[in-house]
Amino acid sequence: MTELKDKPIGIFDSGLGGLTCVAEVRRLMPNENIVYFGDTARIPYGTRSRETVLEYAKQDVAFIKKHDVKMIIAACGTVSSTVGSIPDFAGSVPFTGVVIPAAQAACAVTQNNKIGVIGTGTTIRSAAYCKAIRGIRGDMKVIGNSCNLFVSLVENGLTSDDEVVRIITERYLTDIKREGVDTLILGCTHFPIIADAISEFMGDNVKLISSGAEAAKYAMNYLAGKGLCSDRKEEGTVVYYTSDSAAMFEEGANAFLGGELHGEVIKIGIDELTDQ
Amino acid sequence: MTELKDKPIGIFDSGLGGLTCVAEVRRLMPNENIVYFGDTARIPYGTRSRETVLEYAKQDVAFIKKHDVKMIIAACGTVSSTVGSIPDFAGSVPFTGVVIPAAQAACAVTQNNKIGVIGTGTTIRSAAYCKAIRGIRGDMKVIGNSCNLFVSLVENGLTSDDEVVRIITERYLTDIKREGVDTLILGCTHFPIIADAISEFMGDNVKLISSGAEAAKYAMNYLAGKGLCSDRKEEGTVVYYTSDSAAMFEEGANAFLGGELHGEVIKIGIDELTDQ
């Protein structure tokens, strides 16, 4: 029987965005095994209703739990904003989303107590980041804006140097910039891919917080605190599950990982999500 | 028992795009009843694999068939390109997609035998429009391009006068324009919403073919040929089903319909699609 500390970390997202969290987990804890699920047959989540996101999140967590994981990371801003910090359906498995980790990081970084948050429409409507930040520091000013098109632009391969990315960045971020924030939470795990365009618009004095990377750090601290970090010597394995084509997953993954997959991609049927 | 000719016409799409077909059916056949399904919990289809689109299309058709329809219109370019012209799973119910109707219309319109086709990635990869056009007229030159971002731009409410729409239009259509087509098939039912931007770029001499509107005409001709047009005197009813929020459906629908819904919107659970 596998000892608890040698069990994998489960990470999931609507699609490829959560790979920005996988990359950080691998950097911080290279000997941990990882099971990843990207729900590419139903991406995007961020334009759907709260009710639908909740249903999908339950199915995703149930799928991840089948892999006997020691911790679950919802590496998806929309899911994290919708399910709350400790959802019932995670059961006894330790769970973190990206909201609390990113909120904590932003509160630690800001000097002027003005924090911007960008995310999907469903994320911003939930006000989850705002509530999390105010729960940590009641005096923080939080300015949010929904940026649904960023997800589509990134998913379609557009990068920071693209004219359209620059125009949409200006459109989405002008109000937040005007408020003089010194910290900006990238509240959707797709957004780090266009961090250069965002940073260029906001200016060097604004610190960007990657919600996926912060969730990875949070998970490491949690596992270390519980004595649950693996002590295996060799590099950990990664298995990627995807609800749509494995080839399409592989094709898109590199941009998010900043490198190779280092693991197998397995396609699952949608019925494996809905019949559980 | 309802006479066959008084049964509704079933129309479905991945989301709201198929409403461009509903609008044309209502214009041409105002006394027909319509049952519409928009799979807004799983839109977009056009960036998914052929296998996933096929699975979703089967579920959509099964759902539509429960409503005892006299004909099914797949008012979705991606579905139409993927399932073929007479899919097995339609059974004995007459079925049309948008590909054959649009191909026929384009062949009838072109003067120089050069036809452009724009659609989603999955549509263009299938080469369905090209095969349909060549099946009608073997000497046609067909130039296609995939335009996935158009779907996201339209779904996010951007219109023809938006700078981003104009930039993306130029990017997607430059090669097709250079080939000197005189006819352009809007092979995705989302695209008529930005027809003005497309037309402005292509020039007045290029005729745009709306695939959804052509499918409506095709259905009318089919039903008339079979003596299956309703002879009810009063205006037909429309019932809209959607797999995500009814409120969000209502909010987005007007742009596609060019007017009011004239019917009720009913949310169905995803399990009604997957458990059949």
> Has residue B276 got a pLDDT over 80?
no
Q: Inter-chain contact B245–A152, Cβ cutoff 8 Å?
A: no
Q: Say if B48 is an interface residue toward chain A (CB within 8 Å).
A: yes
> Has residue B135 got a pLDDT over 90?
yes
ipTM field: 0.91
Q: What is the mean pLDDT of residues B232-243?
A: 97
Distance between B152 CA and the closest CA of chain A, angstroms: 6
Verify that A39 and A91 share a domain, yes or no.
Answer: yes
Verify that B89 and B223 share a domain, yes or no.
Answer: yes
Verify that A116 and A62 share a domain, yes or no.
Answer: no
Verify that A82 and A21 share a domain, yes or no.
Answer: yes
> Mutating which of B56, B58, B244 best tests the A interface, going by the most A Cβ atoms within 10 A?
B244
Q: What is the mean pLDDT of residues A244-260?
A: 93
Q: Inter-chain contact A153–B148, Cβ cutoff 8 Å?
A: no
Verify that A114 and A175 share a domain, yes or no.
Answer: yes
Q: What is the mean pLDDT of residues B26-37?
A: 98
Q: Looking at A194, A211, A228, which one is the last position of a domain?
A: A211
Among the partner residues B148, B164, B274, nearest to A168 by beta-carbon distance: B164
- A269-273, B12-16, B24-28: least confidently modelled range: A269-273
Verify that A32 and A68 share a domain, yes or no.
Answer: yes
Verify that B91 and B171 share a domain, yes or no.
Answer: no
> Has residue B75 got a pLDDT over 90?
yes
Verify that B127 and B137 share a domain, yes or no.
Answer: yes
Q: Say if A275 is an interface residue toward chain B (CB within 8 Å).
A: yes
Domain count, chain B: 2
Q: What is the mean pLDDT of residues B164-177?
A: 98
pTM of the model: 0.94
Average model confidence (pLDDT) for chain B? 96
> In A, residues 166-195, which contact B (CB 8 Å cutoff)?
167-168
Q: Looking at B181, B211, B241, which one is the last position of a domain?
A: B211
Residue A34 confidence (pLDDT): 98
Residue B86 confidence (pLDDT): 83
Distance between A163 CA and the closest CA of chain B, angstroms: 9
Task: Give chain A positions within 8 Å (CB) of B248.
Answer: 49
For residue B274, name the pLDDT band (cuts at 50, 70, 90).
confident
Q: What is the mean pLDDT of residues B57-85?
A: 96
Verify that A148 and A184 share a domain, yes or no.
Answer: yes
> Has residue B65 got a pLDDT over 90?
yes
Task: Give chain B positions within 8 Å (CB) of A155.
Answer: 47
Catalytic, B188? Answer: yes
Residue B84 confidence (pLDDT): 87
Closest-CA residue of chain B to A252: B47
* pLDDT tens readout for residues B39-63: 999 999 999 999 999 999 999 999 9
Q: Say if A274 is an interface residue toward chain B (CB within 8 Å).
A: yes
Verify that B90 and B125 share a domain, yes or no.
Answer: no
* pLDDT tens readout for residues A35-69: 999 999 999 999 999 999 999 999 999 999 999 99
For residue A155, name the pLDDT band (cuts at 50, 70, 90).
confident
Q: Inter-chain contact B245–A51, Cβ cutoff 8 Å?
A: yes
CATH code for the domain in which residue A269 is found: 3.40.50.1860
Q: What is the mean pLDDT of residues A68-92?
A: 94
> Has residue A106 got a pLDDT over 80?
yes
For residue B259, name the pLDDT band (cuts at 50, 70, 90).
confident
For residue B271, name the pLDDT band (cuts at 50, 70, 90).
confident
Q: What is the mean pLDDT of residues A4-18?
A: 96
Average model confidence (pLDDT) for chain A? 96
Among the partner residues B149, B156, B168, nearest to A148 by beta-carbon distance: B156
* pLDDT tens readout for residues B89-119: 999 999 999 999 999 999 999 999 999 999 9
Q: What is the DSSP string of chain B?
A: ---GGGSPEEEEESSSTTHHHHHHHHHH-TT--EEEEE-TTT---TTS-HHHHHHHHHHHHHHHHTT--SEEEE--HHHHHHH-SS-GGGTTS-EE-SHHHHHHHHHHH-SSSEEEEEE-HHHHHHTHHHHHHHHH-TT-EEEEEE-HHHHHHHHTT--TT-HHHHHHHHHHHHHHHHTT-SEEEE-STTGGGGHHHHHHHH-TTSEEEEHHHHHHHHHHHHHHHTT-S---SSPPPEEEEESS-HHHHHHHHHHHHTS---EEEEE--THHHH--
Query: Could you tell me the residue range of the domain that residue A54 belongs to?
Result: 4-97+213-274
Distance between A119 CA and the closest CA of chain B, angstroms: 14
Verify that A194 and A219 share a domain, yes or no.
Answer: no
Verify that A35 and A15 share a domain, yes or no.
Answer: yes
> Has residue B162 got a pLDDT over 80?
yes
Residue B85 confidence (pLDDT): 82
Q: Say if B251 is an interface residue toward chain A (CB within 8 Å).
A: no
Q: Looking at B167, B188, B211, which one is the last position of a domain?
A: B211
Q: Inter-chain contact B40–A55, Cβ cutoff 8 Å?
A: no
> Has residue B185 got a pLDDT over 90?
yes
